[in-house]
């Protein structure tokens, strides 16, 4: 296994002066390819903050962020946009599909936005992914016509669309009932086993943490 992501002395402080809130205080972490890791910690400990930084959606206050041997701390918005399009998939707690688009259109978005159009190849892969997450019969449904669990499975398919090395999931089951949560986690586990994709999943659910091969605990701004 090779190193996929490495952060060193990661510091994130929200706000300035009197209202400055230090959240991450010199955090160090390494993720390897093919890992399935749970991110645990009390509410407010900085799990979402860490995922956001790892997802290149936000810059750390200081420290180093490397992925695929690239230093992302110094990259500009354009480079980061392209980087996360190619290498990072996201699954959020609140699904966040594009409501006016079908399940299939949502899944192929990351490829289409890069190519500038929806290619036949992209559509084929989108169908394949939707089949795989068990939604082969819901391809042409609008996002708003899907249940919470179905939306989350569409989001997982979308996260996998560009075959990213890393999928970041922020409480992907937080909004789902027990059965749907199990389904989603089974799916993630299966994909992780079959492909080289690494998953980092923040959760409060110890059951889900147990499914993961590694547990990372954030406590007081660093990894315990």
Ligand X SMILES: Nc1ncnc2c1ncn2[C@@H]1O[C@H](COP(=O)(O)OP(=O)(O)OP(=O)(O)O)[C@@H](O)[C@H]1O
Element (H, E) at 214: strand 214-219
Instruction: Say if CB 1 and CB 192 are below 8 A apart.
Output: no
DSSP-assigned states of every residue in 175-213? TS-HHHHHHHHHHHHHHHHHSS-EEEEE-S-HHHHHHSS
Q: Which is nearer to Mg ion, 24 or 133 (CB)?
A: 24
Q: Which does 77 bind (CB under 5 to 8 A by kind): Mg ion, ligand X, other proteins, none?
A: other proteins
What is the C-alpha separation between 30 and 163, in angstroms, rounded? Answer: 21
Candidate ranges 24-32, 39-47, 75-83, 191-199; the one touching other proteins (CB under 8 A)? 75-83
- Verify binding: residue 48, ligand X, rule CB under 6 A: yes
Instruction: Say if CB 211 and CB 185 are below 8 A apart.
Output: yes
Candidate ranges 29-37, 45-53, 129-137, 140-148; the one touching Mg ion (CB under 5 A)? 45-53
- Verify binding: residue 48, Mg ion, rule CB under 5 A: yes
A 10 A CB-CB count for 62 gives 13
Q: How many residues sit in the footprint of other proteins (CB under 8 A)? A: 33
Q: Which residues are paired to 10 by β-bridges?
A: 27
- Verify binding: residue 118, other proteins, rule CB under 8 A: yes
Q: Which does 121 bind (CB under 5 to 8 A by kind): other proteins, ligand X, Mg ion, none?
A: none
Which residues between 3 and 42 bind ligand X (CB under 6 A)?
A: 14-15, 21, 23, 41
**Alpha-carbon dihedral sign for residues 64, 5, 48, 150:** positive
Chain centroid to CA 111: 17
Closest separation in Å from C-beta 126 to other proteins: 13
Q: Give, as one character, the DSSP assignment of residue 17.
A: G
Which residues between 140 and 199 bind other proteins (CB under 8 A)?
A: 158, 162, 170
DSSP-assigned states of every residue in 35-46? -EEEEE--TTSS
Q: Which does 115 bind (CB under 5 to 8 A by kind): Mg ion, ligand X, other proteins, none?
A: other proteins
Closest separation in Å from C-beta 179 to other proteins: 26
Q: Which is nearer to ligand X, 119 or 215 (CB)?
A: 215
Q: Which residue in the set 1, 94, 163, 214 belongs to the binding site for other proteins (CB under 8 A)? A: 94
Binding site for ligand X (CB under 6 A): 14-15, 21, 23, 41, 43-49
């Amino acid at each position: 296994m090779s190193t996929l992501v490495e952060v060193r002395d990661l510091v994130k402080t929200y706000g300035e002066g009197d209202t400055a809130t230090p959240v991450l205080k010199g955090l160090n972490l390494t993720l390897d390819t093919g890992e399935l890791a749970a991110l645990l910690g009390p509410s407010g400990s900085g799990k979402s903050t860490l995922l956001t930084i790892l997802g290149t959606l936000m810059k750390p206050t200081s420290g180093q962020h490397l992925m695929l041997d690239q230093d992302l701390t110094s990259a500009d918005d354009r480079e980061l946009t392209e980087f996360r399009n190619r290498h990072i998939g996201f699954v959020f707690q609140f699904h966040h599909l594009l409501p006016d688009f079908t399940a299939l259109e949502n899944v192929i978005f990351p490829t289409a936005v890069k190519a500038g159009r929806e290619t036949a190849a992209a559509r084929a892969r989108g169908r394949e992914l939707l089949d795989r997450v068990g939604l082969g019969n819901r391809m042409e449904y609008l996002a708003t016509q899907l249940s919470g669990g179905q939306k989350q499975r569409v989001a997982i398919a979308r996260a996998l669309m560009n075959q990213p090395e890393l999928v970041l999931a922020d409480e992907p089951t937080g909004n789902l009932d027990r059965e749907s949560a199990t389904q989603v986690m089974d799916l993630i586990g299966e994909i992780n086993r079959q492909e080289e994709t690494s998953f980092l999943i923040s959760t409060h659910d110890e059951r889900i943490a147990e499914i993961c091969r590694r547990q990372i605990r954030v406590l007081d701004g660093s990894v315990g």
